[in-house]
Amino acid sequence: MAKTKVAVIQMACEPSVDANLAKAVARVREAAEAGAKLICLPELFRAQYFCQREDHALFDVAESIPGPSTAALSEVVREHKIVVVASLFERRAPGLYHNTAAILDHTSDKPDNIMAIYRKMHIPDDPLYYEKFYFTPGDLGFSSQRTSAGPIGTLVCWDQWYPEGARLTALRGAETLFFPTAIGWHPSEKEEFGERQYDAWQTIQRAHAIANGVWVCAVNRVGHEQGDVEINGELLKGPEGAGLEFWGGSFIADPFGRIIAKASHDKEEILYAELDSKEVEITRQHWPFLRDRRIDAYEGITKRFLD
């Protein structure tokens, strides 16, 4: 049984991919110096959210893993003996790209201290969220990593709406689920739908905590973005229009779904919490959902729909 200080970094992204990486490294170092041993960055933190349009030039944002981002972060990982979850646009091969989270652990002897990677499984295609143009669905499945800071699992943004992903990750041993995210409001919809959209986002993830008896850490970006991206000194402008207002609101929930830390909707913040592994054990003893699962009766869950 152990307690671990966790930090989730809610940050705003500017057009320069280099500036965003430098900021992320600085925020990770700040969190580590504050005592955090397990740190998560938001989804695709190196750039403004470029999936607001379909543009082949934006594939130049992608990088290999290991690559420039993991190299920069691994210096802090080794220096402070920490674990970092970093969401990246992965160039796997020519014409093959993924939305990938790299889990860096100071105990790993692999290049850039990469313990494992997780490739986003569920890829959305909605107005201003045209991810299917850029990302191939993940092919590594759902997984758990026994890091030096405890057993964790990572899912990415759109994955957070699917109870199957959270369940399978928990069944593989994860006691803390991280959800690096880039989600926001269409400004024209915010007044009418904004509150209920955020509430749904928070509620579904709290439900994952309750149903699986795990800690949940959801980390979002913040700020208004047009999707402008500067690569190698060239500025690629985002689409004209209202853009997206990322709603922040990052939070950490305990294994019974209670919010123990929550960020604002409009400011950059580092959110801290102390996670006690014994809370997973105690919660599952009193609410034994895993014990009472009817594993003999779930055959239909692998079907698209039961006619």
Active site positions, annotated? 43, 120, 157
- DSSP string of 77-89? HHHHT-EEEEEEE
Torsion of CA 214, 113, 44, 277, to 10 degrees: 10
Non-local CB neighbours of 271 within 8 Å, separated by 6+ positions: 7, 8, 9, 10, 219, 250, 251, 252, 261, 262, 263
| Cβ 217 vs Cβ 178: under 8 Å | yes
Question: Which sign does the torsion angle of CA 288, 291, 292, 297 carry?
Answer: positive
Which residue, among 84, 86, 80, has the nearest Cα to 100 in the 3D structure?
86
**CA nearest 219: which of 267, 181, 261?**
181
